[in-house]
């Protein structure tokens, strides 16, 4: 099934159930503290909180999302990507758990024709009601697993609506690892759909609950790319019809996966007006581009290429500048790693401060080489540097670290 059919099947199903289709929200959220839209519900936050009235009490959408929390997993697993598309159904008081769960199961098995016996679910350990509802929907208890806050409680990561969730997984079979369900293996058991039962207001953390929503709400997110993996019979999220194959002449492997993933996300950010920078979204973009440049060099692509791939002169400039930094910094880092068998804090700091060689790259290279980085030492030098540059030397002379 093509991605466009995955979308149209979803919308046809929920249209029948009176859901109103809303266009995707901006990738740049209207929410302080949130860098990028990472879920379909972000644009609906005021509806959950009761601050604004939704155009219908049942909505649906498809939302491009960027999430870089899993950046280190790109190329290592088959299922992670820094950007993806999420189909969503939402209810603001008009229905709750029983309907959301029954419909999700029905759409997966009747609409997308997934084998029922391959579906597993996880529920929040305290949420006996959801556990019981899955049982009543004839999901065998040996395929219902209870997990904690980390897995089965959802929030935006900033103050706002939150609640327990239940996730639906598809068993891709033993080729992807040992049995035991999603609780033990999320590569074999692929998370497809997350059903969040929004009920509370999160404060500064997931354990800081500061109130209740005016009415219980539903927020579900079905990963288009993940479902496409299953329905198109491909092993890797970047092999679905939604991902453009970049640089087909280069050898497949983690580096090419990283390049393909990061260029896709960088393009999304660029199209939304983000420019490479040292802070916030600009830093996210810069980090993606820098990792891309490094992995292109590892693949043997020495010349400039990113400007052409992205069609963006700013990116070409970034590549030219960082290409030089990378060469110089890598040489220095190699030398120091050989000399010390580790990366001392002052070396990591010097690379960062004097050579513009980012700490995350130092960590990545050191990890690949199998040597430790003295991060405590690095951070204390950074703190010292920040303090001294905030309080410059009274004589105006540069400080030791400037």
Which residues of this chain interact with ligand SER, rule CB under 6 A? 39-41, 88, 154, 194, 196, 219-221
Taking the complex as a whole, the smallest distance from the CB of residue 62 to ligand SER amounts, in Å, to 11
Min dist CB 369 to ligand SER, Å, is: 35
SS (HEC) of 317-333: HHHHHHHHHHHHHHHHH
User: In this complex, which beta carbon is closest to ligand SER, that of residue 154 or of residue 378?
Assistant: 154
Task: Give CA–CA dist 278/250, Å, rounded.
Answer: 31
Nearest C-alpha neighbor of 3 from the set 84, 75, 58: 84
> Hey, what are 266's tokens?
């960088």
In the bound complex, what is the minimum distance in angstroms from residue 35's beta carbon to ligand SER?
Answer: 15
Sequence-distant (≥ 6) Cβ neighbours of residue 83 within 8 angstroms: 64, 65, 66, 67, 261, 264, 265, 268
Which one, 217 or 365, has the nearer CB to ligand SER? 217
Cβ closest to ligand SER, residue 70 vs residue 252: 70
User: What's the min distance (Å) between Cβ of 25 and ligand SER?
Assistant: 13
Closest CA to 266 of 247, 290, 238, 242: 290
CB nearer to ligand SER: pick between 41 and 288: 41
Shortest Å, Cβ 219 to ligand SER: 5
Nearer to ligand SER, 39 or 289 (CB): 39
Are 192 and 227 a contacting pair, CB within 8 Å? Answer: yes
Q: Give the CA distances from residue 213 to residues 21, 107, 340, in Å, rounded to whole numbers and listed in that order.
A: 23, 28, 55
CA distance 104 to 41: 17
DSSP-derived letter for residue 240 is: S
Tell me the closest approach of the beta carbon of residue 354 to ligand SER, in angstroms: 41
- Those residues whose C-beta lies under 8 Å from the C-beta of residue 328, and which sit 6 or more positions away, are 355, 357
Cα 104 from Cα 58, distance rounded (Å): 15
Of 152 and 220, which has the nearer Cβ to ligand SER?
220
Cβ nearer to ligand SER, comparing 31 with 364: 31
Q: Are 73 and 291 in contact (CB under 8 A)?
A: no
CB 208 to ligand SER: min, Å: 19
Q: What's the closest the beta carbon of residue 199 comes to ligand SER, in angstroms? A: 14
Of 227 and 348, nearer to ligand SER (C-beta) is: 227
Instruction: Give the residue with the Cβ less far from ligand SER, 41 or 259.
Output: 41
Which two structure tokens, joined as six digits, stand for 77? 């697993």
CB of 195 to ligand SER, least distance (A): 7
The residue nearest ligand SER at its CB is 221
Q: Is 315 exposed, middle or buried (0-12, 13-18, 19+ CB in 10 A)?
A: buried
Rg of the chain's alpha carbons, rounded to an integer? 23
**Residue among 302, 313, 318 nearest 358 (CA):** 318
């Amino acid at each position: 099934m093509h991605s466009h059919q995955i979308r149209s099947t979803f919308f046809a199903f929920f249209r029948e159930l009176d859901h109103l289709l809303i266009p995707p929200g901006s990738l740049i959220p209207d929410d302080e503290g949130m860098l990028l839209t990472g879920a379909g519900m972000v644009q609906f936050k005021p509806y959950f909180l009761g601050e604004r009235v939704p155009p219908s009490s049942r909505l649906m959408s498809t939302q491009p999302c960027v999430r870089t929390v899993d950046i280190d997993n790109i190329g290592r697993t088959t299922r992670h990507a820094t950007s993806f598309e999420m189909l969503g159904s939402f209810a603001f008081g008009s229905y709750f758990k029983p309907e959301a769960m029954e419909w999700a199961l029905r759409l997966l098995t009747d609409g997308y024709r997934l084998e029922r016996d391959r579906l597993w679910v996880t529920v929040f350990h305290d949420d006996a009601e959801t556990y019981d509802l899955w049982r009543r929907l004839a999901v065998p208890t040996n395929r219902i697993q209870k997990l904690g806050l980390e897995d089965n409680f959802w929030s935006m990561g900033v103050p706002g609506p939150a609640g327990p969730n239940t996730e639906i997984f598809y068993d891709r079979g033993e080729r992807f690892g040992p049995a035991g369900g999603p609780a033990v293996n999320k590569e074999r058991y692929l998370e497809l759909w997350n059903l969040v039962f929004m009920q509370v207001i999160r404060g500064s953390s997931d354990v800081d609950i500061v109130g209740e929503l005016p009415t219980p709400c539903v927020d579900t997110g079905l990963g288009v790319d993940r479902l496409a993996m299953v329905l198109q019979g491909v092993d890797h999220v970047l092999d679905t019809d939604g991902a453009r194959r970049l640089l087909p002449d280069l050898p497949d492997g983690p580096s090419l996966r990283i390049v393909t993933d990061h260029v896709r996300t960088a393009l999304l950010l660029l199209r939304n007006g983000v420019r490479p920078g040292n802070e916030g979204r600009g830093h996210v973009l810069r980090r993606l581009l820098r990792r891309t440049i490094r992995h292109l060099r590892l693949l043997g692509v020495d010349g400039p290429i990113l400007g052409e791939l992205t069609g963006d002169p700013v990116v070409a400039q970034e590549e030219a500048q960082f290409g030089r930094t990378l060469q110089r910094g890598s040489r220095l880092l190699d030398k120091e790693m050989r000399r010390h068998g580790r990366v001392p804090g002052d070396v990591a700091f010097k690379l960062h401060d004097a050579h513009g060689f980012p700490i995350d790259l130092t960590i990545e290279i050191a990890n690949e080489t199998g040597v430790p980085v003295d991060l405590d030492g690095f951070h204390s030098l950074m703190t010292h540097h920040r303090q001294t540059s905030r309080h410059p030397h009274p004589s105006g002379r540069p400080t030791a670290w400037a």
